[in-house]
Structures are given as structure tokens and as C-alpha cells.
Chains A and B, each alone.
Chain A
Amino acid sequence: MTGGRRRPLPAWFSGRVAAGLAVAVVVLAVLPVALDPYTHNLLTLTFLAISGALAWNWMGGYLGQVSFGHAAFFGFGGFVAARVLLHESIPPWVAWAAGAAAAGLFSVGAYPILRLRGPYFSIATIGLGEASRIVFTYLEGFTGGASGLSLPIDPDLKARLYWWALGLLALVAAASHLIRRSTLGLELLAIKSDVEAAADAGVPTALRQDVVLALSAAVAGATGGLSASFFAFVEPNDLFGFDRSISFVLMAVIGGVGSVFGPVLGAVVFVALRQWLVASYPQLYLGLYGGLLILIILFEPLGLTGVALRVARRFGYRARPDLALGSSAARPGRPASEAR
């Protein structure tokens, strides 16, 4: 180490990323002065989508555990928040925090399934999503059944959700980076590669997975809560629906499963795509999503991040081969002229 008295920065801190994030947040925070209400609200929803996609990616990308049932967490958090929101005297952020906490606990409570590996985990999440939808639609006292719950409408809050959602996004994005670059990220990648060997190397695999899942679920729950405030209406078949679960998967896959910030791009593209589809070809959305999944998996499994990497290589930047997939010590591209 140097002779100076300053402690070296921890490995997970990247000045570049921190600066980039800060700039993005500032720009986005100021942006609404120039926006019409429609775009303003669309961005709010986009921020929520991005947060959800990033959080899904912690499981699907970092750990390699593909969840087809994240709607269960989104929905549970959404409904818990909604029930709190019904009491207008309680500040909304308390409701959202409650939703997040509830979703996190829900995932912990479901731990028997959620400690499974690979395809078993994925199938179990399909079941979790479906079972949640069925059970919560049945629990009419809690969710209002198929008619759902109407929440007090507050146009002022709806506009302010923009900054709340942005704040959540900033947190989630920072966390995404932190997790990946920390020793936790390293352990997650090891687990993803070979869970038994990871355990043999001393990694407490089950605990790590529980923690990441709880965080992922909490974020999904938080976005559910904010979404509840946005629409001022919640309904179990929507919040817990298969379509909802699919959206998480698709956003991450489009952007690049396993990359750190790929899901950001993926969510933006997905939201735009969905807007267009709803307007132009509403009856084709499932097939288009399916087709996209197929094409991406077959031709560019890293989605848009993969495409970006290819382009970067064309221009002489040699990103580390596993930049998107792997190492926490990933550094931005270096010119190809540098000897390996």
C-alpha cells in the first residue's frame, strides 16, 4: 500500500460509475420541467420497470436462478402497500416500505422452494406465481377478489411519484453495482458457476441465495407498492398475473441477463415496445415476447448488452470477455492494441 495515510478505496467503489449515476440522477430529476404529463408519467412507470428488472437480474443474472414468478413478490408488496394506503393518514412512503418489507419476508417464508437449484427453482417459481394469483384472488377480504381494491386518488402524489421512483431506481442501480463488485458478487458468481464447488470452497450458498432473493423480492414489492399508488387501483389477476411475471423476465433478457446495467436498457426497450404493441398489435404481444426470447437466446444471449459489446469490439475496445457475465473486477474496455 502507499505510504500515505489515506485508506485505499474499497474494490467496489468505482468513481466512474458513481459519477455516471450521479449525473444521470440529476438530469432525470430536473427533466420534468420540460416534459408533458404523458411522458412524465410514462417515465415514472419506466423507472419502476427498470428497478424491477435490475432486481430480477440479481437472481436471474448474478445467481443464475431464473424466476418466472416474480409477480408473486410484486403483487404481495403491492397489496400490502395498498391496504396501508387505504388509511390516508399514513404517509405513502410508509406504505411502500411496508410493501417492500412484506415482499422480502414473503420470499423468506417461501424458502423451502426458493433454495432449489436451476430448473427446479424455475418451475417452483412458475408454481409460486400461479398459486399466489389463485390464493390471493380467493382471499377477497385482503385483495378485494377479482374486483380489486380502489385507492384514494391523489393527482399530486401521482406526479410526485416520478421522484420517488427515481430515488428507488438510484438506490437499486447503486445496489446492483455494489453487489456485483463486492465479495458478495464474487460468491454469487461462484454459486452460479458451480454451487457444490462453491460450498466446498466455503461459501454459505443457501444463505447467500436467501439474502439475494429477499432483496430482489423486496424491490419487486416496492415497485408493486409504488405502482399501486400510481394507478390507484390493484387487482390480483393483474398484479399476480402471468403477464406480470413474464415482463420481469423479458426486460432482463432483452437488456442482457447477467450484466450489471443491461436490464436498464432492457426495461426501457420493453416499456416502449409494450406501448407500441398495445397501440398497434395488442393481440400479438405474447407471441412477440416469445419470439423475442427465442431470437435473443439463440443469437445474442446477452441481449442488447451483447450487441453493445460486439459494437465496442468493432471499434477496438476489448472488453473483458466475461464483462457482462462475470467478473466483479471488470474494467471498461481497453484499446485492442494493448498486449494481452
Chain B
Amino acid sequence: MPVLRAERLVKRFGGLAAVDGVDLAVEEGEILGVIGPNGAGKTTLFALMAGSLAPTSGRVWLDGRQVSGLSAHRVVAAGIARTHQIVRPFRNLTVLENVTVAALRGAARTGSHPRALAEEVVAFVGLADRAADHPGTLTLAGRKRVELARALATGPRVLLLDEVIAGLNPAEAQRLAGLVREIRDQRGVTVVMIEHVMAAVMALSDRVAVLDYGRKIAEGSPAEVVRDPHVVEAYLGSGAAAEVHP
């Protein structure tokens, strides 16, 4: 049974369907990449799965339990955590405190002490030396790590990462990509990641789903998806697909 399943998810804003009937099944322990042109509805999809937005119709299941319609904090309690495309650290708290807030959930799940869990997660993402600083003093890479640590500290089954790698220089991107893999490998967390940085998506993902205009237009291994004419057309416009040789 897939650990996370979205069934015919739809989200309309006024007349516009940002997400228009998306089915998604995420297997436990995999890293699923979600790509698509700008405005394809990827972030909205994440918001629906994480409870930040209520779906117009459709459902979301976590380990067979319905989580759609639950408020965001309940979805977190159930086991789905997300990061934001534009990072939103708590500016009035230190890095460690940022993560501790989230660790209150995670610790409840594992029976450990929130502070200890927070310290462990902060160390895991490589911010141990900046734990007492405020996110405002960190670089973007640092703030992305804070965001990541915060999501991780809630002890999720599934982690939804929204463009964690975009905007970083190659060295930072490499390190963060490595971190994502470690999250899956060492902590056993299933990862779904939206990403524009193709190299990262190809390298990290076990499978990739492609969205365009709110619909899933392709799904498969990274190599398959990249050659899919529909995908090429979505990114490069019609006519380009004809030039792709399988």
C-alpha cells in the first residue's frame, strides 16, 4: 500500500483549477520528484496534501487513513510535513528554537525529549554551530536547512520538500541534495520533492511525476519522463516534441 495517496485532487480558485484531478501514489521509502512548468500547480498540490489548503474535491490518504480536510497541524500530527517554496523561518526565534517548536510534535511521537530531538536534527542538517543564531543572520542555504530541520523534527512519515535546492549555488546544492538522500536513507522518511533543478531531480528521484496545468501528464523513472514527448511539449512548447529522438 502506498504510504501517501492523492485521489482525484482538485483545487479551484474562483474559475481557475490550479489542481485539476491529480492522482498520486507515493511508495514508502522512495524519493518522488515532482516537476512541471511554472504555474503547473505543484505547490498547490503540496498545500493540499499538507492540509494548508482544503481541496475542492478529492482525497488524500496517509497509510490508508484519510487526512484530507484535516487542518494543517493535524496533518502534521498524522505524519506529513512540508517546507515552503519561499522559506518562512520564525524570525524571532533562534535556529534551535525554530526546530524545537516542531520537535514538540516529533518528540511526542517518539517519546523523546523535544530539546534533545531538536538538537539532534539541527546537527543532522549541519547547523549545530549556528543553533543559537537567528535565521535572519543565515544565508539562504542556511535558512533552507532551518526549514528542512523544522519539517524533519515533526517526525514525519512523508516529507514534502518544495524547491529546497533552487536558488543555491552548485556546492550548496550538492550538499543539500546529499542531505535529502540521507533523510531517506538514514531516517527512513519518504520524500516527495518539487524541484526545478533538473540535475537534482534526476540524481535523487526514484520516480518522477510531471504536472502541467494542474494535471499529471507523465510519471515514471527520471530517464523515461525526460524523453516523454508530452513532457517536452509542456516545457518547450509544441513542435519541440517532434525533435526528441527516443
Contact with A along B63-91 (1 / 0, CB 8 A): 00000000111101100011010001111
Q: Is the CB of B90 within 8 A of A197?
A: yes
Given contacts A202-B102, A202-B105, A327-B97, contact A189 B90 (CB under 8 A): yes
Pick from B84, B89, B91, B93: contact of A186, CB under 8 Å: B93
B50 on the A face (CB < 8 A): yes
Given contacts A200-B76, A202-B102, A202-B154, contact A193 B71 (CB under 8 A): no
Please indicate which of the listed interface residues B52, B82, B101, B134 has the most CB atoms of chain A within 10 Å of its own CB: B101
Q: Is the CB of A187 within 8 A of B88?
A: no
A275 on the B face (CB < 8 A): no
The total of chain B residues at the interface (CB under 8 A) is 31
Contact with B along A170-194 (1 / 0, CB 8 A): 0000000000000100110110111
Please indicate which of the listed interface residues A187, A193, A202, A205 has the most CB atoms of chain B within 10 Å of its own CB: A202
Q: Is the CB of A205 within 8 A of B91?
A: no
Per the 8 Å Cβ criterion, residues 186-236 of A in contact with B are 186-187, 189-190, 192-194, 196-206
Given contacts A183-B104, A202-B102, contact A193 B76 (CB under 8 A): no
Given contacts A198-B101, A201-B102, A201-B154, contact A322 B52 (CB under 8 A): no
- Output the least CB separation between B10 and chain A (Å): 22
Q: Is the CB of A186 within 8 A of B97?
A: yes
- Output the least CB separation between A302 and chain B (Å): 13
Q: Is the CB of B77 within 8 A of A186?
A: no
- Output the least CB separation between A194 and chain B (Å): 5
Give the size range of A's interface with the partner: 20 to 34
* Chain A residues, Cβ within 8 Å of B81: 200-202
- A14 CA to B151 CA, complexed, in Å: 30
Given contacts A189-B90, A193-B90, A194-B90, contact A200 B100 (CB under 8 A): no
- How many residue pairs, one in A and one in B, have C-beta atoms under 8 Å apart? 85
* Chain B residues, Cβ within 8 Å of A57: none
Nearest chain A residue, comparing its CB with the CB of B104: A183
Q: Is the CB of B94 within 8 A of A203?
A: no
- A189 CA to B93 CA, complexed, in Å: 8
B169 on the A face (CB < 8 A): no
* Chain B residues, Cβ within 8 Å of A203: 73, 101, 104
* Chain A residues, Cβ within 8 Å of B73: 199-200, 202-205
B92 on the A face (CB < 8 A): yes
A157 on the B face (CB < 8 A): no
Known contacts A183-B104, A198-B101; 8 additional CB pairs below 8 A are A11-B115, A194-B90, A196-B52, A201-B150, A202-B154, A322-B92, A327-B92, A327-B93
Chain B residues within 8 Å of A, Cβ to Cβ? 50, 52, 71-74, 76-77, 81-82, 84, 88-94, 97-98, 100-102, 104-105, 114-115, 134, 150-151, 154
Chain A residues within 8 Å of B, Cβ to Cβ? 11, 183, 186-187, 189-190, 192-194, 196-206, 321-322, 325-329
The 27 sampled A-B contact pairs (Cβ below 8 Å) are: A186-B93, A189-B92, A189-B97, A190-B90, A192-B92, A193-B91, A194-B88, A197-B88, A200-B81, A200-B82, A201-B101, A201-B150, A201-B151, A202-B76, A202-B101, A202-B102, A202-B104, A202-B105, A203-B101, A205-B73, A206-B71, A322-B92, A326-B93, A327-B92, A327-B94, A327-B97, A328-B97
A-B pairs, top 6 by smallest CB distance, nearest first, are A202-B105, A202-B76, A199-B72, A193-B90, A197-B88, A201-B102
